[in-house]
Amino acid sequence: MAQQTSAHNQHLTLADIARQTNYSISTVSKVLNDQSDISPEAKERVNAVLTASGYRRKSRQHRHQEFIDIVFSSFSNLWAFEVVKGALNTASQHDIRITITESGDRNHPAENWASDLVRRHPLGAVLVFSHLSTREREELDKNDIFYSIFDPSGEPEPQDFSVRADNWNGGMLAARHLADLGHQRIAMITGPEVMLSARARTEGFIAALADRNISFNPALKREGDFTMVSGLREGLELLNLPAQERPTAIFAGNDLQAMGVYEAARQVGLRIPQDLSVVGFDDLQTSSFMNPPLTTISQPLQQMAGIATQMVINRANHEHSDMHVVLPTSLIERESTARPQN
């Protein structure tokens, strides 16, 4: 049975070790997780501090059950099911179960989620929500809860393990596609701008328009919350503009918002793609069944979830794992985009 290490035996924290060795917390974390890209000197100094503190390895079989908890802030849409499917595919190869926990909302997880997780004693957790606070990170570390962060809402800390898609490139691909079709009045319904993924998609989108000599009109930018309801609400605002101001194309921050835009177009009597082109983001399985099938940016959600799950397993077994993984995005061209009629 693989052994577990902890930077918190006898209440020793990663910060304590970093301070005593003059190495960064990231370096200390890599030593504790047996990462291969660490110098022998760093390993020796960190291990010397552990030995001096009376550090002991703990047997995993006495502390953890063989399941990984997928902690969602909100488990309520097709996007979440894609994540779970990817995690299940990987966990099942190791005879590890998956459990699902819902806590708080996307940007404000419940205050006690970390304590609740510790009480369940999983092998580890894939965290699908906002970045961790220092207190939460230390609580997980001292209780040997190995974790990875899926689609972090902010820049991950150096010591964290994280997986995300190349959102900037995805926004760029959407803008290039619409610009190459000849659209000039292009609107965007973003996700919550407090989230890194939403900001990156917006920045890539606007940069690509500028590269095509198209000036993005800020009046055509709306902020949504990655739900169908927000796509409908913001879509109606945009499509009820006077005809000479109304966008001929909308880039929705995700496929769910694109579904809302479809309904907005139906309510105001516009046809897709004859009167309005729409691009989504995610490539959910339902996207190809929309009427018309949705042109969208694909991010490999199942692959991302599988990697996040494997990170947890590797950490628990003290095997090497890349710390920060960014997977490519791609344009899936279907039937919801066309050249503007005018």
Please give the full DSSP string across 107-166, using - where no structure is assigned: SS--TTHHHHHHHH--SEEEEESSPPPHHHHHHHHHTT-EEEEES-SSPPPTTS-EEEE-
pLDDT of 9 reads 45
CATH class of 60-164+301-326: alpha beta
Tell me: pLDDT of 10 over 50.
no
What does the angle CA 183 – CA 185 – CA 186 come to, to the nearest 5 degrees? 80
CA dist 98 and 82 (Å) reads 14
Residue 22 per-residue DSSP state: T
Cα-flanking dihedrals φ and ψ of residue 243, to 5°?
A: -55, -40
CA dist 116 and 39 (Å) reads 37
When mean pLDDT is compared over 70-74, 97-101, 108-112, 154-158, the highest value belongs to 97-101
Is the backbone peptide bond immediately before 156 cis, with ω within 30 degrees of 0?
A: no
Which structure tokens are listed for 63?
């502390």
Q: Which fold does the domain 167-300 belong to in CATH? A: Rossmann fold (3.40.50)
Alpha-carbon Rg for the chain, nearest whole angstrom, is 23
CA dist 81 and 75 (Å) reads 8
pLDDT of 233 reads 98
Helix/strand/coil percentages in the chain, nearest 5: 45, 15, 40
Which structure tokens are listed for 142?
């001292």
Q: For residue 26, what pLDDT band results from cuts at 50, 70 and 90? A: low
CA dist 57 and 61 (Å) reads 12
Find, among 25, 21, 39, 68, the residue nearest to 317 by Cα: 68
Tell me: pLDDT of 37 over 70.
no
pLDDT of 45 reads 85
| Cβ(247)–Cβ(220) below 8 Å | yes
Tell me: pLDDT of 326 over 50.
yes
3-class secondary structure, 88: helix
The mean pLDDT value of the chain amounts to 87
125 vs 11, more confident: 125
Is the backbone peptide bond immediately before 273 cis, with ω within 30 degrees of 0?
A: yes
CATH 1.10.260.40 positions along the chain are 3-58
CA dist 312 and 51 (Å) reads 25
How much is the average pLDDT of 66-78?
A: 84
Q: Is the pTM of this model over 0.85?
A: no
Backbone φ/ψ region at 182: left (φ over 0), alpha (ψ -120 to 50), beta = left
Find, among 260, 261, 134, 129, the residue nearest to 195 by Cα: 129
Q: Which fold does the domain 3-58 belong to in CATH? A: 434 Repressor (Amino-terminal Domain) (1.10.260)
113 vs 109, more confident: 113
Buried-state track 219-257, b at ≥16 Cβ within 10 A, e below 16 = ebbbbbbbbbebbbbbbbebbeeeeeebbbbbbbbbbbb
Bridge partners, residue 165, by sequence: 327
pLDDT digits (tens, 9 = 90+) for 119-166: 888 889 999 866 677 888 888 888 888 999 999 877 878 888 999 999
CATH 3.40.50.2300 positions along the chain are 60-164+301-326, 167-300
Q: For residue 63, what pLDDT band results from cuts at 50, 70 and 90? A: very low
CA dist 188 and 261 (Å) reads 11
| Cβ(141)–Cβ(118) below 8 Å | no
